[in-house]
């Protein structure tokens, strides 16, 4: 089987958003918030907020990864944060995920990056094993998130 991994383009919006909806369903979310408009608005242009790659087999999209260039002051080096990685169920364990991560490692190297980070839900044992088999390690950080009214409250300066 030949897996083609290539950079995303605006014309990939339906495919990537469809795959992202599959990921949302896989992790138990009722609805997927990411839209075609979001993909085109935030993924392209001089102020893009993410980049990505898409995996195809026989011309059909079967997976994707979205990422963002970052900088780590402790390491004094650029790197990459992977926001999403998804491979359709019937294509798992066939090298698609590895090919997507290889493309991200190459993107990281292209910016002289020395590290990549990502999150994985604790209950995804297969994904955890996959990442560890590639040489990934658990990182001793705790994720925080603020959104909705709490974020608006903080932005207004009343927190």
Alpha carbon distance 156, 159 (integer Å):
8
What's phi and psi for 82, nearest 5 deg? -85, 125
Average pLDDT over residues 137-153: 82
pTM given for the model: 0.87
Condensed to tens digits (0 to 9), the pLDDT of residues 110-128 reads: 999 999 998 887 787 888 8
Residue span of the structural domain in which 146 resides: 3-155
Average pLDDT over residues 30-55: 92
Condensed to tens digits (0 to 9), the pLDDT of residues 55-67 reads: 999 999 999 999 9
At 126 the pLDDT is 86
Condensed to tens digits (0 to 9), the pLDDT of residues 19-33 reads: 999 998 888 887 778
- Strand arrangement of the beta sheet that strand 77-87 belongs to: 3-7, 51-57, 60-72, 77-87, 116-117
| Number of domains the chain contains | 1
Cβ contacts of 131-140, under 8 Å, gap ≥ 24: 134/98, 134/101
Condensed to tens digits (0 to 9), the pLDDT of residues 66-109 reads: 999 999 999 999 999 999 999 999 999 999 999 999 999 999 99
Q: State the virtual CA torsion across 51, 6, 76, 82 in degrees, nearest 10.
A: 60
CATH number at residue 142: 3.40.630.30
Which 3 state secondary structure label does DSSP give 4? strand
């Amino acid at each position: 089987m030949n897996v083609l991994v290539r950079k995303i383009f605006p014309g990939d919006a339906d495919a990537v958003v469809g795959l992202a909806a599959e990921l949302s369903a896989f992790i138990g979310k009722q609805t997927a918030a990411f839209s075609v408009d979001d993909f085109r608005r935030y993924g392209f242009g001089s102020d893009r907020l993410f980049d990505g790659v898409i995996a195809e087999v026989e011309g059909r999209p079967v997976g994707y990864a979205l990422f963002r260039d970052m900088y780590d002051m402790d390491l004094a080096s650029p790197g990459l944060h992977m926001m999403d990685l998804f491979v359709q169920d019937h294509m798992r364990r066939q090298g698609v995920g590895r090919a997507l991560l290889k493309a991200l490692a190459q993107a990281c190297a292209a910016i002289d990056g020395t590290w990549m980070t990502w999150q994985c839900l604790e209950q995804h044992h297969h994904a955890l094993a996959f990442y560890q088999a590639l040489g990934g390690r658990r990182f001793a950080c705790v994720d925080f998130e603020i959104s909705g009214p709490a974020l608006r409250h903080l932005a207004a300066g009343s927190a």
